[in-house]
Structures are given as structure tokens and as C-alpha cells.
Amino acid sequence: MPPHTTIIIGAGIGGIATAAHLARRGIQVTVIEKNPEPGGRCGHFSRDGHKFDTGPTLFIMPLVYAAEFAALGAVLNDVLDLQRVDPTYHLVFDDGKQFALTSDLTSMYDQLEAIEPGSFAGFLRYMQEGQRHYDVGMEKLVERDFRKASEFFSFGNLPLIFQLKPFKHHYANMSTYFHQARLKAAFTFQDVYMGLSPFEAPAVFSLMPYTELAHGVWYPKGGMYSVVEALMDIARNAGVRFMFNTAVERIDVEGTKAQGVTLTDGTHMAADAVVANADLPYVYQDLLPDAGPAQHMAHKHFSCSVISFFWALDKTYTQLAPHTLFLADDYQQNFESIIHRLELPDNPCLYIHAPTRLDPSAAPPGADTLIAIVPVGHLNERSEQNWKDICKKARQAVFDRLALLGITDLEAHLKFEVIYTPLSWRVRYNLMKGATHGLSHRLTQLGYLRPKIQHARYRNLYFVGASTHPGTGVPTALISAHHVADRVTEYLCP
């Protein structure tokens, strides 16, 4: 009997990892990617000796990486050279005051007590809750492949309402631990990684600050793109075939089955199963024929987007740590702007990554490579957004914040600059609305309520990646890939 065949649309993290799992199980896999190289949002580029990760810069949830690489037959520390980043973040507030988030408890005690006397005890209690949210949340929600509603809405899951505080908002829950607004912000800003506002995110997301401090934020030598390279090695060694610079025009369906795909040049490729790694709402809208489900997906809530500045500089700015976050005092207004008004906040919270602090080869000697990321609303079909003007304002906001650290000459030392806007994200990766984290992770779009990894009608069509279960992030894409590979294997080799 000829081997079963699977086509995967997209060589993002989810696509490559699914392909690697399936090929290791003897299934013939072809991955079709519209761009010239793999990685999707976990992208990179190099120019004149400056190396930039264009998407992820934070290696978080190391336990998930270790487990998922093990499931692919690899030992994480053999395939990636990881170093721990501690302090994880340097936070800078509007008046220039700083706070370094670290797993060094003595340093945390000194810093917290200086901001709010008594707050160290609150921090320890918050970490305890974060640990519970991480342990229970990962087991019961994130790492679980929900197949039936009854697995989610069950009596057995009732205790989760008390254990995970799904109906309490993350920021509101912070009053249990801290009084100072700056401390509430310091332990909730990670919600933006899910494209969420802490004023709307469920309190269970305290699992993020917990894992960052308890399990660490890490840096793989060579940057986050080395995760893509490690996965590509596994996939290629298992026999996966990759086609780059090749876009899928549509998924061919008949009755209740996907038959394969048609490429933009008209070529039809048949397969026993199809896995879409391209962003799920885009797949429903552009690659599948049914208008109803497509509209349903398009009307869901989307995460925010970001403007990213990639800067090559002819001098080094030692004031910047590997990960610096500028947190605005008008924190709530920031999220109102980016989530509800789909705008750039007047005084945006923003993030700067300086990779040479961890890997000197990211820039030529004496030079610097900086990545500044400014969260912004996603593309708005209802009103005009002038991205040229918005980028100008975002850029100025970064310069204004850098001045708080005494950096005032950055523009004069720019060798070159590359900018990604929500329009770039949409064009590069077919992300609907340019939403960098795909569908939002609000309560009504989490767990079993998130779009399913298997199509309701075409039973041999599957979805892997950020907009499906469990959600955005490199480690979660690895989990998603594992679930999808199991389902495809069950279907092809019952």
C-alpha cells in the first residue's frame, strides 16, 4: 500500500512541528509555504552584520519546549544552546524609575518594599496563585485536546472556577496582592502577549509572570530563529518535503472531505489529509468555499497588532538591558486605545529588545542591534488608519522613552531601519486584520470555546497554530502541532 499523504499549508512553527511528527510516524508529508523561508511569524533577517528576530524574542515556558522536543525524539539542550535571562525584564516607568523583575528574591524584596512597604508578602502570595494557575491551567486547559463539549462543561471541571478564577479579570485580581498601580502593571503586562488587555483577561493569566520567574525566560544562542532551524532539522531528517515560494490558492473539497489543494499557478495536489497552519480565520475566508463559517470567524474578537522597528546602530547603548519594558502610568488607557479604539495610545507602553547583550554576534563590534515593539490596534475596516503618521508617532514615542534612560542621539546613529506595521503582518503571513496574535484569547475564545483543530464538515482537514487551540506563542504552537498530528494519525491509520 502506498504511504498516506498529508499536505500542510504553511511552514510556521505549528506547520513544521506537525510535519515532523507525522513524518516520524511514516506518513508522507509536503509542506507548502508562500514565503521563501520557514518560520512564519517566528521570522528573522540579517543585514550588514546585524541580526534581527522579527517576531518572538522571548523563550518562555521551557518545560513545554522540553516536553515537545522530547516528543519529536530530540533533547532540547542538545539542539538549542540556552542561557537564562535574569533579570527577565527591566521595567521603566514614566518618571524614569526602574524595577528589575528577577528570580533573585533578595533583590525582589528590596525593590518591592521600596515601592510599596509590605508588598513582598503580596508578591509571594501572587506567585503561589500563579503556580496553581500554571499547574492546573496547563493540565486542564492548555495541554488538553478537547474533542467533546462534555470534556469542558463537566461537573469534574467545576472546581476550576475556584482554582483558575476565570470570571475575575486579571488586573482586578491584583488588588488582592498590591495597592500600587505600578506593581499591578508590573505583573500583568504579559497579557499583551496574548493580544489581551489585563482589564479583560481572566486572572488565570497570572500563570505567565509565574512561569517567567519560576521557570525562567531563556535565550537560545543565535536568537529565536534557532528554534525554527532545530525544528527544520528534525523535519528534514524525518523526510518532510518543503516547497517554498509556493502559495495555496484554495483547499479542494468534495462532500465531507478535503481532496488536496490548488496552488496559485493552478497545480492541483492531492492528499489524504490537509493541515492548515496559515492563520485560521484567513483559511476560512480565503481558502475554503463556505461563506457562513468564514463570516462567523471574521466576526470573532482579534488580538491587537504591533509596529516593530528594527534598528542597526553604529554605537552600543549599554543603558539598555536585553528586555526593557516602558510601562505607562495611564496603563488602562493604553489598552482602551489598542483593544477598543484600535488606535495607537498617546503614551504607549512599549518594549525594546537588545540581543547583543546575550549574543554579541547579533551586531558588528562596537555597533548595536535594537528591536522596538509598540502595541497598536489591529487593522480597522471601518475607519481609515494612516500608517505613515501612526508609525511616525510610534517612533517618536520610542525616542521619548529612551530619553528617560539618557539616550537622546539614537536617530543620529542609525545605519538603517526596517519597520513592520499591521499591514506588513497581513501581507507577509496572511494574518487577518494584521492581528499579530491571531484570534484574541478572551474567555469566550479559550479552551473548548476556541476554534477547533478539526473542521466540522471536512473531517480530514485540520488547523494548527495561533488562532486555534490552545493559542498564540511558540510553545503553544508546539502543543497544537502534537494534538493535530495525533488526530491526523488516528484518521489515516485507525
Ligand X SMILES: Cc1cc2nc3c(=O)[nH]c(=O)nc-3n(C[C@H](O)[C@H](O)[C@H](O)COP(=O)(O)OP(=O)(O)OC[C@H]3O[C@@H](n4cnc5c(N)ncnc54)[C@H](O)[C@@H]3O)c2cc1C
C-beta neighbour count of 109 within 10 angstroms: 15
Residue 473 makes contact with ligand X by CB under 6 A: yes
Which among 431, 334, 335, 331 has a CA at the least distance from the CA of 379? 431
| Placement of cell 493569566 in the chain | 205
Q: How far apart are CA 275 and CA 248, in angstroms?
A: 12
Residue 209 makes contact with ligand X by CB under 6 A: no
Residue 280 makes contact with ligand X by CB under 6 A: no
The count of chain residues that interact with ligand X, using the rule CB under 6 A, is: 36
Angle between helix axes 13-24 and 474-492 (nearest 10 degrees) is: 40
Task: Give whole-number Cα distances, 218 to 41, 138, 139, 358, in Å.
Answer: 19, 20, 23, 10
Residue 422 makes contact with ligand X by CB under 6 A: no
Q: Counting Cβ atoms within 10 Å, is residue 201 exposed (0-12), middle (13-18) or buried (19+)?
A: buried
Pick the binder of ligand X from 194, 472, 485, 489 (CB under 6 A): 472
C-beta neighbour count of 347 within 10 angstroms: 18
Mark residues 347-386: x for contact with ligand X by CB under 6 A, - for none.
Answer: --------------------------x-------------
**Which grid cell sits at 354?**
537588545
Helices and strands: H and E segment counts in the chain = 17, 19
- Our CB check for ligand X shows the closer of 138 and 248 to be 248
- Residues in region 217-246 near ligand X by CB under 6 A: none
Pick the binder of ligand X from 4, 10, 202, 482 (CB under 6 A): 10
Backbone angles phi, psi at 360, to 5 degrees: -55, -20
Pick the binder of ligand X from 29, 174, 306, 362 (CB under 6 A): 306
Residue 277 makes contact with ligand X by CB under 6 A: yes
DSSP state of 35: S
Beta carbons of 68 and 80 less than 8 angstroms apart: no
- Our CB check for ligand X shows the closer of 133 and 165 to be 133
Residue 191 makes contact with ligand X by CB under 6 A: no
Residue 12 makes contact with ligand X by CB under 6 A: yes
Task: Give whole-number Cα distances, 430 to 147, 208, 224, 255, 283, in Å.
Answer: 28, 28, 21, 27, 9
Residue 281 makes contact with ligand X by CB under 6 A: no
Pick the binder of ligand X from 105, 136, 247, 404 (CB under 6 A): 247
State in angstroms the smallest separation of the CB of 274 from ligand X: 12
Question: Contact region for ligand X (CB under 6 A) — 6-14, 72-80, 450-458, 482-490?
Answer: 6-14
- Our CB check for ligand X shows the closer of 12 and 447 to be 12
Mark residues 315-354: x for contact with ligand X by CB under 6 A, - for none.
Answer: ----------------------------------------
Residue 13 makes contact with ligand X by CB under 6 A: yes
Q: How far apart are CA 59 and CA 272, in angstroms?
A: 35
Residue 148 Cα to chain centre, angstroms: 26
Residue 436 makes contact with ligand X by CB under 6 A: yes
- Residues in region 16-75 near ligand X by CB under 6 A: 32-35, 40-42, 55-58
Task: Give whole-number Cα distances, 491 to 83, 273, 387, in Å.
Answer: 40, 8, 45
Q: How far apart are CA 405 and CA 403, in angstroms?
A: 5
Residue 466 makes contact with ligand X by CB under 6 A: yes
Residue 450 makes contact with ligand X by CB under 6 A: no
Residue 474 makes contact with ligand X by CB under 6 A: yes
Residue 252 makes contact with ligand X by CB under 6 A: no
| Sites of contact with ligand X (CB under 6 A) | 9-15, 32-35, 40-42, 55-58, 247-248, 277-279, 306, 308, 373, 429-430, 436, 465-466, 472-475, 477
